[in-house]
Amino acid sequence: MATINDVARAAGVSPSTVSYVLSGRRPISAQTRERVQAAIAELGFHPHAGARALASSRTNVLALVVPLRTDVNVPVIMQFATAVVTASRTHNHDVLLLTKDEGTAGLERVAHSTMVDALIVMDVERDDVRLQALRKLKQPSVLIGLPEDPAGIACVDLDFEAAAAQALRHLAWHGHRKIALVGPSPAVYKRGTTYAERFLTGFTDASAALDLETMTHPCEPDREGVRACLADIDAQLPGVTALVVHNEEALRMVLEEVQAGGRRVPADISVVAICPRDVALNMPLPLTSVDIPAHDVGGLAVETAMRLLDGRPIEPVRLLPPTLVERESTARPAG
C-alpha cells in the first residue's frame, strides 16, 4: 500500500507538501498540486482517515439519522439515504448511519467522540426531543423536516402545505368538489410528525379557500385499515369523486380496493398521489402525483451541511416548491 512518502518521492516534493495538498491548509502552486495529484492517482494512495482527521480537524464523515420502524416506508426512506450518500461523496465525505431509536444518546455519542463533522436528521417531530441536544453540539446539524421551533438549526424539506394545495387545485380545476384525503397512519399524526401535520394544514386551508367539500382520514397501511378508511369516507362524504393519497404504503391497496368496490380510476374516481415519481409510475396505472423529491432534498441537506462547515451563509429554512405531474389517474368527474 502506497504511503505519503511514496507520493512525495514520485512527485519530487516533501511529505509535508503532499499533506498540504490533501488538507488545503496552505497555498500550493498549481503545477506542484498537479504533480502531487498525478502521483496520488498513479500510486492509488488513500490517506489514512484518522491521520487526516488529526491534520485537518475534520473526519470527512457525516451522520445520517433515519427512522426504521414498522410504520415507515423503508424504500422511500432509503431514497433519501441514497441521495445523502451520493451527495456526500461529491464532497469527499462518507456517511455514518444512525437509527432514530437511539434518541439523543446516539447523537451525543457520535458527536462527543468526534466521529462526524455534521449531522443530518430525518423524521422530525413538532416538539422533537432531539432538538435541545442538537443545539448543544459543536457540530452543525441539518434537519430534513421542519419542527415547530427550528431556531438555531438549519431545515430543508418539501413544502408539504403547498403540495396539498397544489393537489386540491388540480382536482378543483378538473371540476371535483367532493374530495377526501387518505392520510398516513394514526401513529404518524400521534407522534406529531411534521410533514404529515403540514400537509394536513395545507389540505384544510386550501379546501376552505377553494370552497370544496372535503374530509380527512388517517389510514393504517394494511388491507383491513384501507377498507375501513374507504368505508368511512364513503359514509361521511357520499358521492366523493376524488382521493388525495398521502400514504405510500397504502397506495396500491387503495387502488385495488377502489376497483374491487366497482369503481374505475379515473372514470368513477380520480386519484392524486403524494409520493416519489417511481412509486407513481409503478402502480397499475401511472398516477397523477406530487413528487416527493428525495434526491433534491437529500442533496440540499448535504450542501447545507457543507456550507455550515465552511462558515458560508445559508438560508435557515429551505422548503422546495412542489411539482405536480398529471398522468392517467385524474379526469373530470363522471356526469
| Each residue's pLDDT tens digit, 64-87 | 999 877 667 788 999 999 999 999
> What is the overall mean pLDDT for the chain?
91
- Contact, 61 vs 96, CB < 8 A? yes
pLDDT at position 235 over 70: yes
Angle at 298 between CA 295 and CA 301, to 5 degrees: 145
Sign of CA dihedral 255, 323, 221, 238: negative
**Which of 103-117, 157-171, 177-191, 225-239 is predicted least confidently?**
103-117
Higher-scoring residue by pLDDT: 50, 279: 279
Provide the grid cell at 111: 458527536
Burial of 50 (0-12, 13-18, 19+ CB in 10 A): exposed
| Each residue's pLDDT tens digit, 116-134 | 999 999 999 999 989 999 9
pLDDT at position 253 over 60: yes
For residue 51, name the pLDDT band (cuts at 50, 70, 90): low
**CA distances (Å), origin 295, targets 34, 274, 291, 299:** 33, 15, 11, 6
Residue-level pLDDT at 3: 86
- Contact, 185 vs 219, CB < 8 A? yes
The whole-model pTM stands at 0.82
pLDDT at position 47 over 90: no
| Domains in the chain, CATH or no CATH each | 4-47 (1.10.260.40), 61-158+295-320 (3.40.50.2300), 160-291 (3.40.50.2300)
User: What CA–CA distance (Å, rounded) separates 167 from 289?
Assistant: 8
Residue-level pLDDT at 252: 97
Residue-level pLDDT at 54: 46
